[in-house]
Chains A and B, each alone.
Chain A
Amino acid sequence: KQEVTQIPAALSVPEGENLVLNCSFTDSAIYNLQWFRQDPGKGLTSLLLIQSSQREQTSGRLNASLDKSSGRSTLYIAASQPGDSATYLCASGTYKYIFGTGTRLKVLA
């Protein structure tokens, strides 16, 4: 059974810093790896989707990579801003997703 873990659980950084969030999964036979953002009291917003055959995806200041052989995905956030403060979730699956434990990010102004 797929298990998804995220490290660190919480992170606090000064504005402008580049940062990396980590996601590990136990079953390398994943299909999609998707990164989401969740703001307090709100639903999930999809950030990036990496298909199994892909190695990375980029959107603006965000870059997500996928290394199936090592069972890892990373989300890179460049030049962080206070508006980036949220919980970041990674999820592995096809039509149904198994979610990681999340990283609570706080970017200090």
Chain B
Amino acid sequence: SAVISQKPSRDICQRGTSLTIQCQVDSQVTMMFWYRQQPGQSLTLIATANQGSEATYESGFVIDKFPISRPNLTFSTLTVSNMSPEDSSIYLCSVGGLAVSDTQYFGPGTRLTVL
């Protein structure tokens, strides 16, 4: 299994500012993902964080709004840019391996509130 930590665990931010969320894994993993969970909703995949190349974004999500870095196989960051109240959500990092039989593991999440 993989142990995943996220920082910060929660934050309250002002409209128009940006927040960078960090995800740290205790072992090297091939696949890292960022999800968003809006209030009362299920999880939606934002992007796949690729090591050494640009992230792959899902429909409805763009790099300018959610820039992602993946400098190595154990760490990734997600920035929520130019925030609005609609960005208030829980942001979760997850990891999985190359083998499709791998369980996907999730971090504890970052609860973001935008005023």
Q: Which of A14-22, A36-44, A67-75 contacts B (4 or more CB under 8 A)?
A: A36-44
A-B CB contacts (within 8 Å), total count: 53
Chain A interface main SS type: strand
Point out which of A32, A95, A102 has the most chain B C-beta atoms below 10 A from its C-beta: A95
Chain B interface main SS type: strand
Contacts of B31 in A (CB 8 A): 95
Contacts of B103 in A (CB 8 A): 34, 46, 49
With beta carbons under 8 angstroms apart, the residue of B42, B94, B105, B106 that contacts A102 is B42
Interface residue total, chain A, C-beta cutoff 8 A: 23
- B33 nearest CB neighbor, chain A only: A96
Contact at A31–B100, with CB atoms within 8 Å?
yes
- A53 nearest CB neighbor, chain B only: B101
Contact at A96–B45, with CB atoms within 8 Å?
yes
Q: Enumerate B26-47 residues with CB–CB distance to A below 8 Å.
A: 31, 33, 41-45
Q: A43-B92, A44-B92 are in contact. Are A94 and B105 (CB under 8 A)?
A: no
Contact of B14 with A by CB under 8 A: no
Q: A97-B45, A101-B42 are in contact. Are A42 and B109 (CB under 8 A)?
A: yes
Q: Enumerate A57-109 residues with CB–CB distance to B below 8 Å.
A: 89, 91, 94-102
| Other 14 A-B pairs with CB < 8 A, given A43-B108, A99-B42 | A43-B4, A43-B106, A43-B109, A44-B43, A46-B106, A91-B43, A95-B31, A95-B48, A95-B96, A96-B33, A96-B45, A99-B44, A100-B42, A101-B41
Give the interface of A toward B (CB within 8 A): 31-32, 34, 36, 41-46, 49, 51, 89, 91, 94-102
